[in-house]
Amino acid sequence: MLFQLEGSQAVARAVALCRPKIVCAYPITPQTHIVEGLGELVRSKKLENCEYINVESEMAALSVAIGSEAAGVRSYTATSSQGLLYMMEAVYNASGLELPIVMTLGNRAIGSPINIWNDHTDAMSVRDSGWIMLFAETNQEAVDLHIQAFKIAEKAKCPVMVCVDGFILTHAYERVDLPSQKEVDEFLPDYEPHISLDTEHPTAIGTMVPPEYFMEVRYLAHKRQIDTLPVVECVGTQFKEKFGRKSGGLLHEYNLEKAETVIVTMGSVAGTIKDTVDELNANGSKLGVLSIVSYRPFPKEAIREALKNAKEVIVLEKAFAVGIGGILHQEIALALQDLGIAIHSVIAGLGGRAITSEMIREYFNNKKHDNMVFLGLKEDVIDREYRPIKNSECNNKF
Amino acid sequence: MSNSTIGNRLSKKRNSVQSHYDRPNTLNSGHRACQGCGEALAARCAIDAAYHAAKGNIAIVNATGCLEVFSCVFPENAWNVPWMHSLFGNAPSVATGVAAAMQVQGKNVRVIAQGGDGATTDIGMGTLSGMFERNDDVLYICYDNQAYMNTGVQRSSATPVLARTATTLPNSIYSGNELGTGKNVPEIAIAHGIPYVATASIANIKDLEEKVAKAINIKGAKYVHIHVPCPLGWGYPTSETIKIARAAVECGMFPLFEAENGKIVGSTPIETVKPVEEYLRLQRRFAHLFGKNANPQAVEELQKIASANIEKYKLSGGIVNV
Amino acid sequence: MFQVRIHGRGGQGVVTAAEMLSIAAFLEGKYAQAFPSFGSERMGAPVVSFCRISDKEIRLREPISNPDAVIIQDQSVIKPANAFNGIIDGGFVLINSSNNESHEVNNLKNINVQCVGATEIALQHIGKPLPNAVLLGSFAALTKAIKIESVIEAIKTKFSGVIAEKNVAATMVAYEKVLAN
């Protein structure tokens, strides 16, 4: 059924349709409206047989979910930015314990300086944690990915993080199609835990693993995540069959057949890019867009296949690693390393800086692409503030 | 409360769980604890008592620490009950999740979270306070050996003042752990107004068992703080764990009491109150207070703490010999 | 695509106005996207919200810099917020003001300007100085981008009972006032 809803409310209602039995909440901007929405759904008994637990920190939020999943029930939480870092230890723990928790990440920058606005630095900081990470392009996809996430998590025995751009999606009112409870029940079976604290069959969960076995544990975690690629794809296909729209899967391809230059990106900025690409293509450009839904597991082969005919790839991302550069850029470069495609890096939208059509047009009008471009960087501020470290100072010291 | 120990077989009613032929052995033999480990003994007594009182329906969340490391190294496991370990500072939260999940599934499983003093009084204090404040249906047991033993005896906020640890080495300026520091977590638990708080000692197993057995079936948040000497960290022969635990109780350094809903409701009187020096002299962690660089002033400071406990918790039921 | 930018102060329902507008468009079967200026604004601080209305799916997610219409809920933000910036030729400006002589509009060329004393209307009908829903009535009359019936329906999804009725009454007054001009 169609609704005009705020992204956060839409996500809350989608999560409720998945019938979690435990929801733990600790507020952080811009995630707050999601957990507020779920709190209301639990209190008004629209989401029944669910314990809503207000906790004292993000560390506790994810830890409660770890406990409840280990005791055998479907569990959900949500966070953003600093909150994700505050629960970082538990993030690794949840995947290590193979607990299929679903968590929404309302993507936001990481301080210092403190900044509450959108970028992907938070998500990138947990890219090696063993979670499955899916990025939503629209609020419709945010809804659909949450429904898929529980299925993927429980199938893969691995937690799933659904990344939803903070403010840009979480606070935007849009049209969304929310499925009925019956449809979701048919799509998502009851949770059957693969491990559980059971008094009839006592087991120990989370034991210490010595050097004799640890490498194997890590190797298997990697192997299982790679094995999850077809699961993510298959659940996306099943979703389309059931609900009639393409949402999720590994990648979204746009105009790749005719494209010589492809912009690779993640999340909600793909929409603005597609509009701009249409405009530029109408004036003779040959541009396409590849947006990555499944960031972890990283669909290396699918990306190679999608980009094999491109002459040039531009990776536009809302995060970067200080001291080296674009993060997604490095991963794309690794995936395409022997294909002879020119790959450029564009860093954009950090800390909520708007990414506009005009910026993207300007980037393409300037034919020569530097290796790493910061879109909309204020050169005058850099000129004023930049103080190079003088070589002489170092030479004297060492 | 009673002062009877293991044995005492004359009265069946007063038998401890440990003295019974079919004790549950929740923490089985073959684990890797040090010889003379007070924590292993306390954990076995406490969890056996909880198991007995809850008719086997218990699940445990263990914080990182000695107890976790010595009881559960893959592929071995010394626990005969459902047990999980997540992290150092989050056992109370994980237990909250377990308890909530049990409730929502309609399962009558009593949930215990346990950890050492580092996990409890330091790194897990926030999550512990949250669990208390929400009155979650969890029994938290702190095995207090008064320092970070798992990492090699570093100071925690439960380390007694003037004690030597690897990070409070006595020298010509400092005499061990600084005076005026430390955190009293049982009192903090009481301040949360939770249904039940108790302290216990492995020198008094019957009392320990009774407190745990009482706590496990109370609905809401419960806290039991158990004093567990550590031969390695405190510096004493492995055969003297119980003796040292008893000495701590008898001098007033470790008061035994119970509190309900924010109020102290009872304490275990000391039959013959002993000078604190007798307790201190048994342990190398206080050795710098005696001998050629003796520091009688420091011993006096510790005596003041013990005496204050005796007054505050009304422990002088018998002959005071200070 | 019809793009609307709403300026006002925190507490005046600037964000709610954009949301209601998007709901009204949705009720007409259109696509609409409403979003705030994403700040941690406090009561009284200048606030901006945006709404796009289109017959097709809206993919663009940048802030609106060339609006078809600007709604000013509080005249005092016009200068500091540079509120008339980028309005398209032939666009609309709706100002909450009982004084038609508002001098800030003097520089606007080829723009349809309309002033409505929305705060007074709100005070009279709702009893609170909340101009946001009221101005949407005038907006419907001025721009014809949305039907007044849809605005009324949208208000009823955001408010209920007596408050909804009062808002609807005030909105109708503001709608008819502009129609009469």
Residue C41 has what pLDDT? 64
Judged by CB atoms closer than 8 Å, whether chains meet at B85 and A207 is answered as yes
What are the residue boundaries of the structural domains of chain B, listed by start?
12-320
CB-CB contact of A312 with A341 (8 Å): yes
Averaged pLDDT for residues A295-315: 97
The pLDDT of residue C107: 77
Q: Label residue C105 by pLDDT band (50, 70, 90).
A: confident
- Taking the Cβ of residue B103 and every Cβ of chain A, the question of whether any pair is shorter than 8 Å is answered with yes
Tell me the mean pLDDT in the region A210-216. Answer: 96
Asked if residue B4 has pLDDT above 50, the reply is no
Assign B322 a pLDDT band (cuts: 50, 70, 90). very low
Structure tokens at A360: 């993207």
The residue that leads in pLDDT, C39 or B111, is B111
| pLDDT at A290 exceeding the cut of 80 | yes
Percent of chain C past pLDDT 70, that is, above it, reads 95
- How do the residues of chain B divide into helix, strand and coil, expressed in percent and rounded to 5? 40, 15, 45
Q: Does B28 touch chain A (CB under 8 A)?
A: no
pLDDT digits (tens, 9 = 90+) for B302-315: 999 999 999 999 99
Q: Which of C31, C60, C63 sits opposite A271 (nearest CB)?
A: C60
Mutation pick from A1, A4, A275 vs chain C, by most beta carbons of C within 10 Å, is A4
Contacting residues for C4 by C-beta, under 8 A, at least 6 apart:
C18, C21, C50, C51, C52, C53, C64, C67, C68, C69, C70, C71, C139, C145
Instruction: Provide mean pLDDT across the span A156-176.
Output: 97
* pLDDT computed for residue B1 by the predictor: 41
Task: Please check whether residue B109 touches A, CB under 8 A.
Answer: yes
Fold of A2-243: Rossmann fold (3.40.50)
Tell me the residue type at B88. Answer: F
- Give the domain range for residue C119: 2-180
Q: Out of 3.40.50.970, 3.40.109.10, 3.60.15.10, 3.40.50.300, select the CATH number for domain B12-320.
A: 3.40.50.970
Whether B84 and chain A come into contact, CB under 8 Å, resolves to yes
Q: Per-residue DSSP letters for A336-397? A: TTTS--EEEEEE--GGG----HHHHHHHHHS-S--SEEETT--HHHHHHH--PPPHHHHHHH
List beta partners, residue C69.
C4, C92
Q: How many residues does chain B have?
A: 322
Q: C101: domain CATH number?
A: 3.40.920.10
Cβ–Cβ of C63/A354 closer than 8 Å?
yes
Q: Above 70 in pLDDT, residue B7?
A: no
pLDDT tens for each residue of A39-72: 999 999 999 999 999 999 999 999 999 999 999 9
Closest chain A residue by Cα to residue C40: A116
pLDDT for residue B21: 84
Phi, psi of B134 (to 5 degrees): -80, -10
User: Beta strand A251-254 with A173-177: parallel, antiparallel or unpaired?
Assistant: unpaired
Helices (H), A188-296: 211-243, 269-282
Task: Name the nearest CA neighbour of A94 among A24, A33, A27.
Answer: A24
pLDDT digits (tens, 9 = 90+) for A224-271: 999 999 999 999 999 999 999 999 999 999 999 999 999 999 999 999
> What is the model's pLDDT at position B293?
87
Return the percent helix, strand and coil in chain C, to nearest 5. Answer: 40, 20, 40
Whether pTM exceeds 0.90: yes
pLDDT recorded at residue C181: 79
Across the interface, do C62 and A168 touch by the CB < 8 Å criterion? no
pLDDT for the residue numbered C40: 62
The answer to whether residue B9 scores a pLDDT higher than 80 is no
Q: Does A211 touch chain B (CB under 8 A)?
A: no
Which amino acid, residue A237?
T
Domain boundaries, chain A: 2-243, 251-384
State the first-to-last Cα distance of chain C, in angstroms, to the nearest integer. 26
CA distance C98 to B4: 88
Which of B206, B199, B256, B245 lies closest to B5 in space, CA to CA?
B206
More confident residue, A318 or C107: A318
Q: Which residues of C touch A171 (CB under 8 A)?
A: 35-36, 38
Q: Under an 8 A CB cutoff, do B80 and A202 touch? A: yes
The DSSP secondary structure of B50-88, one letter per residue, reads: HHHHTTT-EEEEE-SSHHHHHH-BTT---BSS-EEE--S
Whole-number Å distance between alpha carbons of A188 and B142: 41
From the list C36, C38, C61, the residue facing A272 with the nearest CB is: C61
Q: Which residue of C has its CA nearest to A137?
A: C59
Note whether A38 and A47 are within 8 A (CB).
yes
**Tell me: domain A251-384, CATH 2.40.37.10, correct?**
no
Q: Which of A97, A129, A126, A125 is nearest to B94 (CA)?
A: A97
**Residue C101 banded pLDDT, cuts 50, 70, 90:** low
Q: What is the mean pLDDT of residues A333-352?
A: 96
Domains held by chain C: number: 1
Find which of A52, A66, A75, A92 to mutate to test the B interface (most B CBs within 10 Å of its CB): A66
Q: B252: how many CB neighbours lie within 10 A of its CB?
A: 27
Is there a contact between B163 and B240 (Cβ–Cβ < 8 Å)?
Answer: no
The residue among B67, B71, B96 with the most chain A CBs within 10 A of its CB, best to mutate, is B96
**pLDDT category, B11, cuts 50, 70, 90?**
low
Q: Which residue of C has its CA nearest to A118?
A: C38
- Partners of residue A100 on adjacent β-strands: none
pLDDT at B321: 42
What pLDDT score does B66 carry? 97
ipTM of the complex as predicted: 0.95
